[in-house]
Amino acid sequence: MPETVTVATLSEGALLSRIFPRLSLPAPHTDALLLGPGDDAAVVAAPDGRTVISVDTQVQDQDFRLAWPNGYRSTGFDVGWKAAAQNLSDINAMGATATSMVVSLTLPADTPVAWVEELADGLVAGISELGAQHCSVAGGDLGRGREISVTVAVLGNLDGGAPVLRSGAAPGDTVALAGTVGCAAAGLALLESSVPFDSLTPAQRHFVDLQSRPRPPLHAGPVALAAGATAMLDISDGLLRDGLRLATASGVALDLDPAALAPLAAALQPAADVLAVDPVAWVLGGGEDHGLLSTFPADIQLPVGFTAIGSVRALGFNEGPGVNIAGRAAGTGGWDHFAD
């Protein structure tokens, strides 16, 4: 059996020479990239005069595992794709289009070089296949540490538009969803279960795939901006928790329609059946699908890709911002990095 080549056996320059060719993307991905990897810093065009920027980190055994209880093993491709997806989604949630990405990797000495190459491939595949057609990888950094850590920062362009904030929802607006909710949470529950991965049906494996390689609706952010969205955010920590963030920022209450949520739960039934759980909990509290929660004036037609799931209401006497379902406060649920 051939010996595994690890990052400790290569110099930094040699490792970069393995990575850089894999990060190459063709035009129009490179339209904004004036100077890419190779110097102390990259140079990226900002034709709008403003730059939207977001950064996120994945840490081994906190945000992902290399080996899961059900026997699934996360590949470098999985981690690279997810790193791209979650950051591209934040740019999307502002109504902007991603233009460039920088990546910082912290790697233990025993990390296989092939795993790092897979991560680079996953980043590029995520950018390309999710439809971030104007985004390129402009550069990054390498370091050594005790666990794998992947930090990605993405820049975006508003193309002359105003960013869609969390704080613009108004009473009477329609609450709408683009993308999915609960699928990644169903996948996570399967990964952490004792049900062997090899025994899962294709429908059940689909949820694992959406946890490992999320598919945010990157077309939807700029479309929502153009259609007049009043508020918007990326659902990364759960519909209730992120809905509360939007409601708090806007000083309103969100009333969600149980009938609109029911089909979302029904779609998760293949995973719920094997784990004997109620899928509604995944719909309300599951994050990492990276769908968009948006509000629109009630008198406009929702853009393609958005589905109405509720309405915005003014706060009643002595009532604080919140999310309600069938007239009852729904709590928060979802994910909190420090409380959970």
Instruction: Confirm or deny that 63 is annotated as ligand binding.
Output: yes
Instruction: Give residue 1's pLDDT.
Output: 45
335 is in an annotated binding site: yes
Q: Does the annotation flag 167 for ligand binding? A: no
CATH 3.40.50.11540 holds for 7-157: no
pLDDT attached to residue 331: 67
Confidence class for position 104, pLDDT limits 50, 70, 90: very high
Q: What pLDDT score was predicted for residue 326? A: 85
Strand arrangement of the beta sheet that strand 97-107 belongs to: 52-59, 149-157, 97-107, 136-144
Q: What is the mean pLDDT of residues 264-274?
A: 97
Distance, in Å, from the CA atom of 155 to the CA atom of 4, rounded to the nearest integer, reads: 36
Q: Name the pLDDT band for 238 (thresholds 50, 70, 90).
A: very high
Residue 334 has pLDDT above 70, yes or no: no
Q: Is the pLDDT of residue 121 over 70?
A: yes
Whether 7-157 shares its CATH topology with 173-329 is answered no
209 annotated ligand-binding residue: no
Provide mean pLDDT across the span 92-113: 96
Residue 332 has pLDDT above 70, yes or no: no
Q: What secondary structure does DSSP assign to 256-279, as a single string?
A: E-HHHHHHHHHTTHHHHHHHT--T
Average pLDDT over residues 21-37: 93
Residue 68 annotated as lining a ligand binding site: no
- Split at pLDDT 50, 70, 90, the class of 333 is low
pTM of the entire predicted model: 0.94
- Per-residue model confidence (pLDDT) at position 193: 97
81 annotated binding-site participant: no
Between CA 164 and CA 185 the distance in angstroms is 26
Residues 185-194 have pLDDT tens digits of 999 999 999 9
Find all residues with CB under 8 Å of 187, minimum gap 6, and list them. 207, 208, 209, 210, 211, 212, 271
Domain limits, the chain: 7-157, 173-329
Q: Which residue has the tokens 């029911």?
A: 262
Any binding-site annotation on 56?
Answer: yes
Of 17-21, 202-206, 239-243, the poorest mean pLDDT is in 17-21
153 has pLDDT over 80: yes
pLDDT over threshold 50, residue 339: no
The reply to whether 319 sits in an annotated binding site is no
Question: Is 50 part of any known ligand binding site?
Answer: no
Per mean pLDDT, which of 47-51, 83-87, 324-328 is the most reliable? 83-87
**Where does the pLDDT of residue 327 fall: very low under 50, low under 70, confident under 90, or very high at 90 and above?**
confident
Give the Cα separation of 334 and 340 in Å (integer).
9
pLDDT of residue 335: 45
pLDDT-based confidence at 41, cuts 50/70/90?
A: very high
Higher per-residue confidence, 107 vs 339: 107
Q: What is the mean pLDDT of residues 234-245?
A: 96
288 is in an annotated binding site: yes
Residue type, 137: V
Is pLDDT above 70 for 114? yes
User: What's the mean pLDDT in 34-54?
Assistant: 93
Residue 55 neighbours by CB under 8 Å, 6+ apart: 87, 151, 152, 153, 154
Task: Provide the pLDDT for residue 310.
Answer: 97
CATH 3.90.650.10 fits 173-329, yes or no: yes
Q: Using 50, 70 and 90 to split pLDDT, how confident is the model at 315?
A: very high
Residue 304 CB neighbour total at 10 angstroms: 10
